[in-house]
Amino acid sequence: MAHRVRSLRNDLWSTKLSPGGDVKKHLSKMFNLRTELDSLQYTVDDIAMVEMLLESVPNQPEFENMKAAIRYNPNFGAFTPSGVRDMIRAADSRQKEFRG
């Protein structure tokens, strides 16, 4: 079981969205990994999950602006994983509109 937890944790930290990739599928994978870890009694706290979500998106302007707005906010701890998921979806929509 320890090996499985370590493997899932590494997958969660290393999961990256490729530029132009499927955001819905990417976010679903990340949240599914977190749920699977939770089922093995390994808790990924909200702050760690928020950081993993931010690290998982590509270095594109809309995502970079979102990451800066979250990371430099004095209330960083108030951001929830589901809230950041919604922000990533919104940033992806803006990115697609811009590239049109």
Look up residue 100 and give its DSSP letter. -
Assess whether pLDDT exceeds 60 at residue 38. yes
One-letter identity of residue 62: E
User: Distance between terminal CA atoms of the chain?
Assistant: 46
Look up residue 57 and give its DSSP letter. S
pLDDT bracket for residue 57 (50, 70, 90): very high
Domain range holding 43? 2-99
pLDDT bracket for residue 1 (50, 70, 90): confident
Domain total of the chain: 1
pLDDT bracket for residue 10 (50, 70, 90): very high
Mean of pLDDT over the chain: 93
- Cα separation, 80 vs 5, in Å, equals 23
Assess whether pLDDT exceeds 80 at residue 96. no
pLDDT bracket for residue 99 (50, 70, 90): low
The predicted model scores a pTM of 0.91
One-letter identity of residue 86: D
Main-chain dihedrals φ then ψ at residue 50, nearest 5 degrees: -60, -45
**What is the arithmetic mean of pLDDT over 56-81?**
92
